[in-house]
Chain A
Amino acid sequence: KNEVEQSPQNLTAQEGEFITINCSYSVGISALHWLQQHPGGGIVSLFMLSSGKKKHGRLIATINIQEKHSSLHITASHPRDSAVYICAVETSGSRLTFGEGTQLTVNP
């Protein structure tokens, strides 16, 4: 079993829909990161969480430390949100362990 599990693996939505991507982990962590990867390969950090909830524009990230679970929400989705979203947990020595990623496609 992977230390970081994401669901769903693939997600197709219509423009405007509310989207949720889930991440569960099985190890002790110091922080959890949500990342966005575009087709060219570059990765952008969306959030770093150690507790509670963060919001940036149409993106919301939550984490429940006791349940070892985090969610990334996208409100009013848009085709430009189409990308791979990756959950990564930070453990000792600032190392990151990555989930498999969720391929999101938002259709106009």
Chain B
Amino acid sequence: SAVISQKPSRDICQRGTSLTIQCQVDSQVTMMFWYRQQPGQSLTLIATANQGSEATYESGFVIDKFPISRPNLTFSTLTVSNMSPEDSSIYLCSVNRGNTEAFFGQGTRLTVV
């Protein structure tokens, strides 16, 4: 199993600012996933964070907007840069070792005003 501590749990931010979300896993994992869940919608993969290499971004998401760090096998950060109200969402990190149970952080509920 894996326990993921994600913070902050929620934040209200001014447009134009940036917010960094942290996820700490209690065991080493190769891949960590960052998801966005816009209001009333399902989860969408932003990027896959691999330790020791650049994150792999999905179509529609770019590194300048969502820079990711993965300094070691238990920690990752996602930054939401130059925020606008359209970035208001729940952001979640997840680990999934492949054909095993998926584990999620508690989520960060972001509101941009």
Q: Complex Cα distance A43/B102, Å?
A: 10
Q: How large is the interface on B (under 10, 10 to 19, 20 to 34, 35 or more residues)?
A: 20 to 34
Known contacts A93-B48, A94-B31, A99-B42: does B102 contact A41 (CB below 8 Å)? Answer: no
How near does chain B come to A11, taking the closest CB pair, in angstroms?
16
Assess the B109–A95 pair: CB atoms within 8 A.
no
Is A86 among interface residues, defined by CB-CB distance under 8 A? yes
Contacts of A48 in B (CB 8 A): 99-102
Is B33 among interface residues, defined by CB-CB distance under 8 A? yes
Which one of A27-35, A59-67, A72-80 is at the interface?
A27-35
Assess the B104–A43 pair: CB atoms within 8 A.
yes
Chain A 84-108, CB-CB to B under 8 Å as 1, else 0, gives 0010101001111011110000000
Q: Complex Cα distance A30/B43, Å?
A: 19
How near does chain B come to A79, taking the closest CB pair, in angstroms?
22
Contacts of B33 in A (CB 8 A): 95-96
Q: Complex Cα distance A41/B90, Å?
A: 7
- Per DSSP, chain B at the interface is strand
Within 8 A of A (CB), among B39-64: 41-45, 48
Assess the B109–A100 pair: CB atoms within 8 A.
no
Q: Complex Cα distance A100/B39, Å?
A: 12
Assess the A45–B48 pair: CB atoms within 8 A.
no
Contacts of B107 in A (CB 8 A): 40-43
26 residue pairs from A and B, CB less than 8 Å apart = A30-B98, A31-B99, A33-B102, A35-B104, A40-B107, A41-B37, A41-B90, A41-B109, A42-B104, A43-B92, A43-B104, A44-B104, A45-B103, A45-B104, A48-B99, A48-B100, A48-B101, A50-B99, A86-B43, A90-B98, A93-B48, A95-B48, A96-B33, A96-B96, A98-B44, A100-B41
**Nearest 9 Cβ contacts at the A-B interface:** A41-B107, A43-B104, A94-B98, A98-B42, A42-B106, A41-B90, A98-B43, A45-B101, A94-B96
